[in-house]
Structure 1
Amino acid sequence: MDVPLAAMRAIGRAGGATLNDVYLGAFAHAVHRLHWQGTGLIHPPLPVTMAMSTRAPGRAAAPGNALVSVRLQLPCHRTTAAEALAAVVARTARVRDDRRRDVARLTLA
């Protein structure tokens, strides 16, 4: 399914989510639906590793890679796309707030 970027951004703004959160929420919901249709069972949370930018505010266009890997449980057990997105937003907010990016900025500088 192709979803216009503008639509994904609008969904993110409405839910307090980043574009990456919207993508992860949609992916989690797709896994849920495919698993449910194939097995009749609810898929458990799915552990994934994702990249998180360590760029300081105002440095988005700086050259080079500035990221750290973080582990996250995708909420594939949520039954609606809205529930999945809300759970992703909560989980990524916790990861952002735990100061990993700040530590990575200092370590990689």
Structure 2
Amino acid sequence: MRNGFFADCPLTRLSRDFDLFASESVSADPALTAELDQHAAAVRDSILADRVEVTRRSLVHYLQGFIDGCRERGWDSSSVEYDWETLRVLAICRMAKEYGFVR
């Protein structure tokens, strides 16, 4: 296992769920892929605006803050459709894979 890889990291758990939940529908839908790209860019811009590099730690920190905010607003992800919050979480998971933070 490479240095810095945590098997129990929230990004790892969510990325596994991402593969099960959305991998087929995302690859088959260009519009959904474009939306995820926009969400990923917004996440990246938010992290960089804090003058922090995009690292596993900064992405986990962003994810935890985002999920906390969703919970405070009473967000429920039981919808069949991809709502804004679900798209943001899926984009974070995709970023984690693209940056090599998870396998």
Same fold (TM over 0.5): no
Task: Indicate the structure (1 or 2) with the bigger Cα radius of gyration.
Answer: 1
* Structure with the bigger percentage of strand: 1
Compare relative contact order (CA 8 Å, sep 6+) and give the higher one, 1 or 2: 2
Calculate the TM-score normalised by the size of structure 1. 0.29
